[in-house]
Structures are given as C-alpha cells and as structure tokens.
Structure 1
Amino acid sequence: MTRVGWIGLGAMGGPMAACAARAGFEIVAFDADPSRIEGKAAASVAEAAGEDIVVVMVATADQADEVLRDVPTETLVVMMSTVGPAAVQRWAERWSIVDAPVSGGVARAGEGDLLIMVAGEDSRVERVRPLLDALARSAPVVGSEPGDGQKVKLVNQLLCGVHIAAAAEALAFAEALGLDAGAVREIVRDGAAASFMLDDRGERMVQGAFDEVKSALDIFVKDMGLVTDAARATAYPAPLASAAEQLYVAGRRAGLGRSDDASLIRVLRGDT
C-alpha cells in the first residue's frame, strides 16, 4: 500500500498527512482550503476517494457525512476523526470502515508519535496497518467493531477535557489566593497533582499563550458533547464531564471558541 486518498488537512490532518508522505505513502489529498495542500492535490472529495483506501480526518460527524456521500461503498475508509460511536456504527452499515481516532496533539501528529485507537475487521485493519504504524507510537486494536475505537477515544477525551478544566481552575484559584500561578504550577507538578495537561496546557495558561492555536477550545465543546451524549445513551451520569462541558460552552459563548483551549482559564478568572 503506497497510495492513499486523504480528506481533511486541518490542525491534525495536515501534519499527519505530511508524516505519512515522509514514510513513503503517496498522498492524494483534498481539503476545503486548497492552500493547505502540499504534494498531489485532488480537485474534489470524489477524486481523493478514487483510491482504494481513504483517510477521513475532518472535524465533525456532519462534515464526515458530507464527505462520505462521494466515497464509493467498496472503498476502505479509515475514519480518524473523533465523531462518536453512533455515527461510525451507522456508516459501517454501508461502507467498509476502520475506526481509528487519534490522540496526541499537533506536534506528535507531525512526528508519527500518536496514539491511535483501532477497531474493525482483522483483514481491514491489516490492510491499513503500515499506514497506522507510520502515524503512531502506539496503534492497539481495541475492538472488532467500528465504533469501539470511538468509545475508547471518548474515555480519553473525558480525561483530557476534565484535566484541562481542573488545571485551569487550580491555576485561577492560585491567582485568586494572591499566589504566583506559574510558581505554584512548578511546585505542584513535581508531586501527586502532576498531569500532562497541567504541564502542557498549564504552561500556556500561566504565560497567556493563547494566540497560537495548538488545539481550539471548540474541539472540546464538540468532544465533551460527544462524551455526555454517549453517557446519557447508557444512563451514565458523568458528573465531572458534564461540569467541564459547561465550562467549554461558556468559553465559546465568551468568544474563545477559536482560541487555544488553554484560554479556558480566562473563564475561571472571570476576565472574558
């Protein structure tokens, strides 16, 4: 497998496609913004979908629905977007799907250092295994049915979303106590309160580094909505996820949706 159709070259999709190209895959790419395309460009979704294997890396289930209208049913679709299990299960009734949502952020996407949560029939997964391995530090098979990967990704996003919100609340609390939030972060990150999000997003929070958008706040409005929707569908209460979701929604209402998600601290500070 050397030639892959690729639809979606946003903050994550662009670096991923570039990583795949460096690994030797010929990427035939389409994006709504043609300026994002480097290498071989497709003039339409249908042209990109002319390949035997097509990666879909768009932002929402609605966008994926639109894209799939132009994808032949015999095409093997690698769904790498975070769209929730219900959508992928519905698409799997018509298309051959490998469910493969990703986690790791923009920098790791460009380095082939992602976590990919893979689900699908064994033969389909094996067909795309070289591509997955080129993009990932780890690409475990988490289930045999499309949608299983999305379920694991929602657990991942619940933790990420709550951890970002907790970091924002803790650092804003430090400021409210009259402390230097940056100094407090340096102290507590060496103890039991340490987390990746306190390290990564916490640094941007205390520095006010919100203009370079590494992960937009709107992504967590979407993803925490997917988490709480799935929780309701199983009668699971998800109280922390629900509280975090409301903070992200408040951030969107304050005009921060396209800002880096570290700007969530501004909601806790009350300066939006």
Structure 2
Amino acid sequence: MQETKKAAVIGLGSMGWGAALSLLKAGFAVRGCDIRSDALARFTEAGGDACTTPALAAETADVILVYVINSKQVEDVVFGPNGALETAKPGTVFLLCSTMAPSATTDIAERLETAGMLVIDAPVSGGHVRALAGEITVMASGSQEAFDRASAALDAISAKVFRLGDRPGAGSQVKMINQLLAGVHIAATAEAMTLAAKAGIDLKTLYDVIRVSAGSSWMFENRGEHIVSGDYAPRSAVNIFVKDLGIVASEAEKAGAITPLAASALNLFVEASEAGLGQEDDAAVAKILARKSGATLPGMEE
C-alpha cells in the first residue's frame, strides 16, 4: 500500500485548519492555501508551507484535500485560474471534503478523473474540536486505488472513515442526510433554550439536565453550550446551514421526498441570515426565536 507524505489543504477554515494541523502532526509536508493572509501567517507559524494559490499548493502534493464552502468554490480552486489542476501531477488524489449536492460532487469528480486524477468524495463531520484532534468522521466513496494512495492522510485526519461505495457521490448523499439532522437539531436546540428562557428556567441548569437526558443530541450538547454562554463566535456559521439545508430541500424535491422539519429549520436559518446573523455561529438562530418570543438570551441586549 502506497502511503503519501506530501499533502495540500485548500481552505484553512475551522475544518481545513484542523486537517492541516493533523497532517503536520502525522509527519506530512503540508502546503496550505487560503485567501486570508492571517490564516496563512498562522499556518506558517504552525510549521506548514503557506501558499497564496491552489496551483502553488498542489504542485508537490500526492493528496489534495479541498475544504472550501460550496461547489462553486470547489470548481474555482480546482479548475479556475491558478487552480490546483494546473499543477497537480497525474494520479494525484483529490479528497473533496466540502459539503455539496451529490450531483455537483459527481460532476466535479468526473472532470477530475478525465484529467487523470483520482477522487474520493470525502465530506466530513465532527466539528472544529474533533478536526483539531484528528478525530473527524469521513463519509467517503471512491475507487480502491484512491483509498490506497490516500490511506495515510485519512488516518491522520479521522477517527472513522466510512467506505460508502466505489464511486464519488455516495459520500455526499450520506452527508446530506447528516446535515438534515444537524440543522433540525440546531433549530430544536434554539427553540428549547428560548422556551426555557421565556419560562424563567435557568439555562445552565437546564443544559446540565438535558445533556444527560433522553432529549439530548450532539448538537444540543455543543450548540446549547454556546447559547448558555452567549458565545456566537462562528465555528460553523448560520450561512453554512442556509446552504446545506438548501441542498436537502433541492435534493428532496428531485427525489419526491417530503421533509417538513428540514423545511422549517431552513426557513429559520434563512430568516437569521436575512436579519444580519449569517456570519455568526449557527446557534444564533436562537436569537430570532428569542426576539419573537420577547425573551432575552445570554449575549443579547436587554
């Protein structure tokens, strides 16, 4: 089995940053690319090789991890001017870690394979803390050859890799379902905490009770703590779930599936975005419900 030790990470946001540091800790030579100069400076300080274009990042890599926000950005950083495909060697493995519509993933993968590259559809989950620890979950699909060549990189960034098929697209389908649940759970957490605040329940006490009770979820544990502390610094922003639940709505319509809870959650995220909260932590949807309810949450002005 071939194990590569040269990697590129395109997009040093919360998840990409964790992946890049995990690769460095595992002994990889890592080139990182981002449009933000402060992220590149931090990456240099962490021991990485900062690059201003995807083409520069890709030219020595055996595996390229793409961690940008949406399919349009993936197309730009891969196929656009100064994109990774300009310099990537034939047989380079592209790990498409962004959350995209399955149809978009399939199209991008086919174009990369036509250009002589290997592709793993590899959306991830687990949050920035698990990303930093190299313990994310990867929902992956692709050829055996691609997995063989990327095995060391996948081991470095993840606690669990689910092999979901031998063609790109299957990973994105499963990630879409994950995002349906995640978005609904965040909305439900916001609703529960707002009702508690309106009823005069101490939110910290409520959080401590629910997180060890049947009504809890991973999102309640994680985002509920953000609401209790009034901390809306973006780990995953409201606008991410506008995108992701938008994918759910679009794909559900194509499939003829009915997704009323996802639709309600999407409406809440869209309303929060339109209210100027799009770049805040996705738990900020609670502010919308609190304002409508006449409740005050931590971090909100009286």
Is this a same-fold pair by TM over 0.5?
yes
Q: Work out the CA distance in 2 between the residues paired with 1:240 and 1:265.
A: 16
> Of the candidates 168, 177, 183, which is equivalent to residue 190 of structure 2?
168
Match of 2:74 in 1: 64
Distance 1:195 1:81 in 2: 23
The answer on 1:77 being equivalent to 2:87 is no
* d(CA) in 1 for partners of 2:93, 2:237: 29
Q: What is the letter of the counterpart of residue 110 of structure 2? A: E
Which stretches in structure 2 are left out of the alignment for 5+ residues? 113-117, 293-299
Instruction: Please state if 1:7 is matched with 2:17.
Output: no
Give matches, 1:1-272, under 5 Å.
1-37=4-40, 38=43, 39-50=48-59, 51-69=61-79, 70-72=83-85, 74=90, 75-95=92-112, 96-210=118-232, 212-270=233-291
Task: Give the whole-Å Cα distance in 2 for the aligned partners of 1:24 and 1:185.
Answer: 40
The CA distance in 2 between the partners of 1:29 and 1:94, in whole Å, is: 23
Amino acid at match of 2:244: D
Distance 1:43 1:190 in 2: 45
Using the alignment, how far apart are the partners of 1:174 and 1:270 within structure 2?
14
Equivalent residue of 1:83, what SS? coil
Instruction: For 1:191 and 1:14, locate their aligned partners in 2 and report how far apart those are by CA, in whole Å.
Output: 33
Within 2, Cα distance between the matches of 1:139 and 1:189? 27
2:110 is paired with a residue of what secondary structure? coil
User: Is the 1:172–1:181 contact (alpha carbons within 8 Å) kept by the matching residues of 2?
Assistant: no
Q: Give the count of matched residue pairs.
A: 271
Query: Relative to 1, partners in 2 of residues 1:191 and 1:53: Cα closer, same or farther, differing over 3 Å?
Result: closer
**Matches of 1:178 and 1:28, distance apart in 2:** 51
Contact 2:137 2:159 in 1 (8 A): yes
Amino acid of the residue matched to residue 10 of structure 1?
G
Secondary structure in 2 matching 1:92: helix
Map Cα deviations across residues 52-100 of structure 1 (whole Å, 9 max, x no partner): 3211110111111111112338332111111121111001222132111
| Partners of 2:57 and 2:225 in 1: CA distance | 39
With normalisation by structure 2, the TM-score equals 0.85
Answer with 68-77 or 257-266: which moved more: 68-77
Question: Structure 1 residue 176: deviation in Å?
Answer: 2.2
Tell me: CA distance 1:190–1:7, structure 2 relative to 1, closer, same or farther (3 Å): closer
Q: Distance in 1 between matches of 2:235 and 2:9?
A: 21
Q: Distance in 2 between matches of 1:136 and 1:10?
A: 17
CA positional deviation for 1:192: 1.5
In the alignment, which residue of structure 1 is the partner of 2:295? none
Cα distance, 1:219 vs structure 2: 1.1
Aligned-partner Cα distance in 1 for 2:226–2:37: 30
> Structure 1: where are the runs of 5+ without partners?
none
> Could you tell me which amino acid in structure 1 is paired with residue 58 of structure 2?
A
The one-letter amino acid of 1:42's match is C
Over the aligned positions, Cα root-mean-square deviation in angstroms equals: 1.6
Name the TM-score, length of structure 1 as normaliser: 0.94
Q: Structure 1, residues 27-68: CA drift from partner, whole Å, max 9, x if none? A: 112211133122212242112222332111101111111111
CA shift in 2, pair 1:191/1:93, >3 Å: same
One-letter identity of the residue aligned with 1:112? G
- The CA deviation string for residues 200-224 of structure 1, in whole angstroms up to 9 with x for no partner, is 11121122111x3222111111111
